[in-house]
Structure formats: C-alpha cells, structure tokens
C-alpha cells in the first residue's frame, strides 16, 4: 500500500505540473512561492554580464542608497537627470551641473546614458516655442486703444465742421468705459481725408506685416470709413460701409518705415461714428510642418551632440530612441495616439515622422562612433504586435544606415504577468542578433490587491516573477548578446511606482532590507 500511495501521489504531481504548463491563465507560474530565504551574495558578482540600477539625485544623497549602489551594481542609469527636461533650459542652453555632481558622487561606476530622444520628460515648452508649434501672441502696439483715457495719444488732423470727442455713454461704447465719437454733419464724397484722427506712432520693421483692427458702428445706415497709414508713404484701405451695429474691421499693411501711424478717415458720408477697441499687432504667421520639423531636427541635433560629446569618456552606451510605438493600436507615435496634455510632452515623430529615430541614431553615432546605441520600449513581453513592430523598425533603421547596436526591453511587469510571454519575447529579441538589455526591470507586488504593506505571500509571488524574468533572459539570450539587466531602482519608497505606499516593486524595502526578490534574482543569475 505505501508503494501504491507514493505512485499515486507522483501521478497527481505530474498532472498538476502538466496543467500548469498548459494553462492560458494570466497568472501562470505564480502559484509557486519558491524558497528565497537566502538573500546573501552580491548581485554584480553573481552575473556574467552587467547588473545595473536606476538612480536619481535625491535618493543618491541617502548613505544606504549610495552604498548599495556601489556594492551591488556594476552600472547605473540616471532615471531622470540626463533627460532633455532635466538638462535643457528655457533659453535652449544645457545645464550639466546636476549630472556632473552625480557622476562625481558615484565614483568610477559605469554609466548607461538615458535617454537622448523621448516624447516625455522634455523641456517641451522650449521646444514648442523654438520650433513654432506655439505661436507667440503678438504685442499690442496701439496706445490707449480703448479710449479709456479719452483722446490721449490720439491727434485730430482735420475736422471740416465735424465734432470729435470721447464718449462714456454705455450704448456708444463697445467694451470698457470709453470710445471715440465722431459727428460729421457734412458729406464730402470722394474726400475721406476731410475728417481725420491719427494714432500715436508705433515702432515697426520695414518689410514686416501688421494687422490694424477696430470696432465701429454708425448712428444711421450708410456710414463710410477707411484707414490710411502715415506719416509718409501712405497706404489706403478701401472704403468700408458701416451700419448701425458694431462690426470689426481689419486691415493689413506692410511697414516701410521704422515708425508708423494710422489715421481714421471719415469725411465722405455725413453720420455719427463710434470707434472702440483698436488694435495694432505684427502679423504672426504660423510655420508649416516642414519648418517645424527642420527646427526640431536642429534642436535634437544640438541636444544629442552636446550630451554625447560631453560624456563620451564616461558613458559608452545610450538609449538613443525611447518608446517609439503606442500600444493599442500599435503605431509610430503621433499627437493622436499619445497623451500630449502633460507639459513635458512633445512627440518628435509627429513632426519628423520616421526620420526622428533615424536622425537621433545618426547624431549619436557621429558624436561617439564607439558607443553602443540602443532603442528601448515597454510592454514587449505582453504585446506581441508591439514587439514585432519594434523589431521591424530596427531592421528598417539599419537598412537606412543607422548604427543600432541593441534593443532594450523595459519589463515593468507584475506578479500577474503572463510568464510565457516573457519567453516568447526573449526568443524573438535573441533572433535579432543584436545586444539585448532588460533596461528597467521592476515587479509590481500588490498589482490590484488592497494597498498597504505586502504580505509574505505577495512578496514570494514577486520573487517568482523576478526570478522568471532574469532566468528567461539568461536562458534565451546568447551570451554574446547579453548586454545586461538594470533594476529600476533600489528600495520601494524611492520607486516611481511607490506612490505613497500603494506599490512595492523593488529588491529592497523602504528601510533598505533585502526582500525575497533579491534572493530570487541571485538564484536566477546562478542558474539555480
């Protein structure tokens, strides 16, 4: 009987294992909690390839953070400080002070550059203004344009019996409290100039266009008005027929002088005229798509060339192009498939198309021909269409002559990630023949469970997911292509996912104590 019972138990275990292996359930693999009590060892010495970590300037000031960085890891990636938004100032200059200070604090540890071209974490306001995506509001050049100060800064040139005054009568004012009132009792057909009021002079640039506008109405139908420019080389607006309701009239002129005036001419038709809300502004023409693309190209070249050149003695590999594709549907990023509401977002490929990535790689290679250059994206383990699109895009870039040395898969995963998708991704990445990095690995522990400190079981599930990801990399990526694994942070409370204690995605807890996941990663690196 004992022998039969043992055989029956073994059959049950085999059947259970078969069910787990064939399952399509999204939580495949997490039922095992493993044995990760042993967290001894050092990460970087357990691996045959670089083990990196993401660091930021704030946490780097904490002594345990710096000590663990130097003890456990062979390379670092700056989470934010080398990005466009951290370095590029509002005038387009580059401020390297924070990067330089962090490098000095870290000593001689290898640095992986991150990132040269991304749609987020940029000084997007500068880029939009520089490229003309944001068209600046033109400066108002008119003085006392609403006649709130009566007729100050307005000059009466001709009256021929007309009365020209300021009015504060509500029915005679378009907005505010004042307007100009012109009572012309005598018609002078063909002689608009016989009743004239001139503006004060305003600065203009010869050859530039300016828009003069104003609101006007007449006491009776059939009014007539025009504008003329001064003080010399006059231009004339065509006669405008004015009715009894407020209407806005605009006129474009091309300046020929450095100082210009304009005149209201109202001598032709006998009537009473009310004029308000005058405006004079330079005509600002929004640039076309090609012009915007050319300016962004110049800005991209400037940033990449200066960053790579400055740090080429310290940084020998870069994320050149980051997150080129949207998720669903999978497509090259544009303003349509990307959330452009954050103030730090500018989608390069919306304006430069596929050339954005092409140019980024070209500029990086020119600045440091010896550096390894990577393309980087997320959800490749869970979105096969995105993975395939990225691989095809890399082939396209290389066919166009780009130096693309490797692919980074971010792997911001969770305890519920379908582990089978990780294997599929690793095999496809390996088939590219390029260097492959897990570039931003972390594992959500709570992943939809109630917030609060994770239970021992959740921590064990997290450890299993960490181990599986690392083991899959070791198993499927050939040694010659293993460029390394970077953990996206050290301790939970300094993680981008922590969010006031709602998630715990890293290898160390808030107080820098090793979690089971640390032991799991050591096991995976050692092939256990």
Out of 81, 323, 381, 503, which one is annotated catalytic? 323
Q: Is residue 148 annotated as part of the catalytic site, yes or no? A: no
Tokens of 460: 């064990």
**Cα 51 from Cα 46, distance rounded (Å):** 9
Give SS3 for 302. helix
The position carrying tokens 């010659």 is: 480
**Cα 4 from Cα 133, distance rounded (Å):** 78
Q: Which residues contact 288 (CB under 8 A, 6 or more apart)?
A: none
Q: For residue 177, which of 272, 248, 264, 276 has the smallest C-alpha distance?
A: 276
Orientation of helix 124-131 relative to helix 289-311, angle to 10°? 130
Tokens of 204: 């203009």
Alpha carbon of 337 to those of 318, 328, 333, 386: distances in Å?
26, 8, 6, 14
Reading phi first (left if > 0) and then psi (alpha if -120 to 50, else beta), residue 107 is in: left
The single-letter DSSP state of residue 481 is: G
Residue 325 · residue 376 · CB < 8 Å: no
Q: Is residue 62 annotated as part of the catalytic site, yes or no? A: no
**Cα 6 from Cα 117, distance rounded (Å):** 60
Name the pairing type of β-strands 406-409 and 372-377.
Answer: parallel
Residue 192 · residue 237 · CB < 8 Å: no
Which residues form the catalytic set? 323, 440
């Amino acid at each position: 009987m004992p022998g039969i019972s043992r055989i029956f138990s073994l059959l049950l275990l085999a059947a259970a294992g078969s069910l787990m292996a064939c399952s399509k359930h999204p939580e495949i693999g997490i039922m095992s909690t493993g044995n990760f009590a042993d967290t001894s060892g050092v990460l970087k010495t357990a691996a045959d390839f670089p083990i990196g970590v993401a660091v930021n300037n704030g946490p780097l000031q904490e002594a345990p953070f710096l000590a663990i960085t130097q003890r456990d890891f062979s390379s670092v990636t700056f989470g934010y400080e080398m990005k466009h938004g951290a370095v590029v100032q509002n005038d387009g200059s580059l401020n390297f002070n924070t990067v330089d200070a962090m490098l000095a604090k870290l000593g001689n540890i290898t640095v992986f550059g991150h990132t040269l071209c991304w749609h987020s974490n940029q000084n997007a306001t500068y880029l939009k203004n520089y490229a003309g995506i944001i068209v600046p509001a033109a400066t108002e050049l008119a003085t006392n344009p609403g006649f709130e100060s009566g007729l100050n800064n307005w000059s009466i040139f001709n009256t021929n019996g007309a009365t020209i005054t300021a009015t504060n009568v509500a029915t005679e004012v378009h907005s505010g409290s004042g307007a100009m009132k012109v009572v012309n009792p005598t018609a002078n057909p063909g002689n608009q100039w016989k009743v004239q009021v001139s503006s004060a002079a305003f600065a203009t640039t010869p050859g530039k266009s300016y828009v003069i506008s104003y609101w006007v109405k007449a006491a009776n139908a059939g009014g007539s008005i025009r504008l003329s420019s001064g003080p010399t080389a006059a231009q004339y607006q065509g006669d405008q027929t004015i009715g009894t309701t407020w209407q806005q009239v605009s006129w474009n002129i091309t300046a020929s002088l450095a100082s210009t005036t304009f005149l209201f001419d109202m001598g032709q038709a006998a009537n009473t005229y009310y004029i308000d809300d005058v405006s004079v502004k330079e005509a600002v023409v929004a640039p076309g798509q090609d012009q915007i693309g050319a300016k962004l190209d110049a800005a991209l070249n400037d940033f990449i060339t200066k960053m790579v050149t400055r740090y080429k003695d310290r940084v020998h590999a870069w994320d050149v192009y980051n997150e080129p594709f949207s998720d669903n549907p999978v497509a090259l990023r544009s303003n349509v498939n990307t959330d452009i509401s954050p103030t730090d977002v500018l989608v390069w490929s919306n304006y430069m198309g596929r050339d954005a990535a092409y140019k980024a790689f070209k500029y990086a290679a020119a600045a440091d021909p010896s550096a390894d250059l990577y393309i980087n994206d997320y959800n490749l383990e869970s979105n096969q269409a995105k993975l395939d699109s990225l691989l095809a895009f890399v082939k396209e870039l290389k066919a166009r002559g780009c130096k693309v040395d490797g692919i980074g898969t971010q792997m911001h995963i969770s305890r519920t990630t379908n582990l089978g998708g990780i294997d599929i991704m690793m095999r496809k990445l390996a088939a590219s023949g390029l260097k492959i990095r897990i570039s931003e690995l972390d594992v959500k522990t709570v992943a939809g469970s109630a917030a609060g400190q994770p239970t021992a079981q959740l921590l064990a599930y997290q450890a299993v997911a960490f181990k599986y990801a690392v083991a899959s990399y070791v198993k499927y990526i050939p040694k010659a292509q293993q460029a390394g694994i970077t953990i996206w942070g050290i301790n939970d409370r300094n993680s981008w996912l922590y969010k006031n204690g709602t998630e715990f995605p890293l290898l160390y807890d808030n107080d820098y104590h090793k979690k089971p996941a640390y032991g799991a990663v050591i096991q995976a690196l050692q092939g256990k």
